């Protein structure tokens, strides 16, 4: 495949794929339409592609270029027009805007992440106009839109959890490269990264996100884990069982090892109480889970 043709014959090569856009566009939106104002903070990336951009790569012809500075403006203009009820609805509006307004754009990718803020707790309730970013996990979405198809993938990053019972790891291959022994009582700690594909775009994105997050936490808490892989599948299966609007879910679970500190050379016994928290190296367990056909 190639994208357009260069007028300049001195090139030995041809453009196979192109895209360009704007990253880390950060929008704070206060919505004052309701009884109490809402506060949202999102970070947006837009990325455009199409064969007509080829002349920019070959000859520096910018006549088809929506400047990345204009893409930044567009985030704020649509941020003003849109309710921003959910990052998915806003992202869909943003993607649609590019395909509607510029016929030479073939594909738009919008990636949004959202910091989760909550009202500050005060005596007898919460404060209506003061907020705390108390939550360390992040909500995100990716809209991939062409004139034929729209794919919305949403998820969660940095949801950090650990369980201290009901976690084993035993029976793995023991060969010349193995030093790890079986254990029937280990800490399982991870930082959940989830990405799910929605069945369609007419979904209560906010409610489904809340349910998916809650189910993943509960399943992680309750599961008797023989392997991080098994817990991963259980979490994905539970989400698909409870949230009909999700078609498929991918999970990445780093295995953030807590290694029992060896107190023996120091004349003490470690009663499974004292661990070295490690950040590297770490295991990475991945799986994509789909509905049975």
* Residues within window 228-267 making contact with a second copy, judged by CB under 8 A: 228-230, 232-233, 236-237, 240-241, 248, 250, 254-255, 258, 261, 263, 265-267
Q: Considering only 86-94, 140-148, 200-208, 275-283, which stretch makes contact with a second copy by CB under 8 A? A: 275-283
The verdict on whether 22 is a catalytic residue reads yes
64 Cβ neighbours under 8 A, 6+ residues apart: 50, 52, 53, 55, 56, 104
Q: Which of 51, 161, 195, 209 binds a second copy (CB under 8 A)?
A: 161
The verdict on whether 222 is a catalytic residue reads no
Q: Which of residues 19-48 bind a second copy (CB under 8 A)?
A: 19-32, 37, 39, 41, 43, 45, 47
Q: Which of 7, 76, 103, 204 binds a second copy (CB under 8 A)?
A: 76
What is the DSSP pairing of strand 258-260 with strand 138-146? unpaired
Hey, how many other C-beta atoms are within 10 angstroms of the C-beta on 109? Answer: 20
Active-site residue (options: 14, 38, 68, 252): 68
149 binds a second copy (CB under 8 A): no
Minimum CB separation of residue 216 from a second copy in Å reads 10
Q: Which of residues 86-125 bind a second copy (CB under 8 A)?
A: 101-102, 117, 120-123
Minimum CB separation of residue 211 from a second copy in Å reads 13
Q: Comparing C-alpha atoms, which of 215, 222, 228 is closest to residue 165?
A: 222
CA 128/CA 131 separation, integer angstroms:
8
185 binds a second copy (CB under 8 A): no
The verdict on whether 201 is a catalytic residue reads no
Minimum CB separation of residue 44 from a second copy in Å reads 9
Please, which residue, 59 or 204, has the CB nearer to a second copy?
59
Q: To which residue do tokens 């990475």 refer?
A: 284
CA 257/CA 34 separation, integer angstroms:
46
134 binds a second copy (CB under 8 A): yes
Q: Which of 7, 151, 170, 204 binds a second copy (CB under 8 A)?
A: 170
Please, which residue, 31 or 144, has the CB nearer to a second copy?
31
Active-site residue (options: 22, 97, 142, 163): 22
CA 208/CA 212 separation, integer angstroms:
6
267 Cβ neighbours under 8 A, 6+ residues apart: none
Minimum CB separation of residue 233 from a second copy in Å reads 4
282 binds a second copy (CB under 8 A): yes
* Cα 112 to Cα 33, 188, 213, distances in angstroms: 23, 30, 18
Please, which residue, 185 or 204, has the CB nearer to a second copy?
185
CA 5/CA 27 separation, integer angstroms:
38
Both tokens assigned to 146: 């062409």
Minimum CB separation of residue 170 from a second copy in Å reads 7
- # residues near a second copy by CB under 8 A: 142
Q: Comparing C-alpha atoms, which of 167, 159, 173 is closest to residue 275?
A: 167
Both tokens assigned to 268: 């003490």
Both tokens assigned to 239: 């989400």
Going 215 to 217 to 219 to 221, the CA torsion angle's sign is negative
Q: Which residues are catalytic?
A: 22, 68, 257
């Amino acid at each position: 495949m190639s994208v357009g043709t260069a007028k300049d014959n001195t090139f030995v090569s041809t453009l196979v794929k192109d895209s360009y856009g704007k990253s880390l566009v950060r929008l704070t939106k206060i919505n004052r339409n309701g009884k109490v104002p809402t506060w949202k903070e999102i970070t947006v990336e837009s990325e455009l592609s199409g064969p007509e951009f080829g002349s920019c790569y070959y000859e520096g012809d910018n006549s088809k270029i929506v400047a990345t500075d204009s893409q930044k403006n567009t985030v704020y203009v649509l941020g003003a027009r849109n309710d921003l009820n959910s990052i998915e609805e806003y992202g869909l509006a943003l993607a649609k805007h590019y395909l509607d307004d510029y016929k030479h754009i073939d594909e738009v990718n919008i990636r949004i992440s959202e910091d989760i803020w909550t009202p500050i707790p005060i005596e007898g309730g919460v404060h209506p106009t003061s907020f705390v970013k108390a939550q360390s996990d992040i909500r995100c979405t990716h809209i991939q839109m062409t004139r034929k198809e729209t794919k919305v993938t949403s998820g969660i990053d940095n949801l950090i959890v650990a369980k201290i019972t009901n976690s084993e790891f035993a029976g793995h291959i023991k060969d010349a490269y193995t030093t790890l022994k079986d254990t029937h009582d280990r800490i399982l700690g991870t930082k959940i990264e989830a990405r799910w594909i929605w069945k369609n775009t007419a979904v209560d994105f906010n409610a489904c996100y809340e349910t998916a997050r809650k189910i993943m936490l509960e399943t992680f808490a309750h599961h008797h884990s023989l392997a991080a892989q098994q817990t991963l599948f259980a979490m994905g299966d539970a989400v698909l069982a409870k949230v009909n609007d999700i078609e498929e879910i991918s999970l990445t679970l780093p295995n953030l090892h807590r290694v029992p500190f060896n107190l023996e050379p120091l004349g003490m016994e470690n009663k499974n109480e004292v661990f070295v928290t490690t950040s590297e190296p770490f295991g990475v367990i991945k799986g994509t889970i789909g509905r049975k056909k």
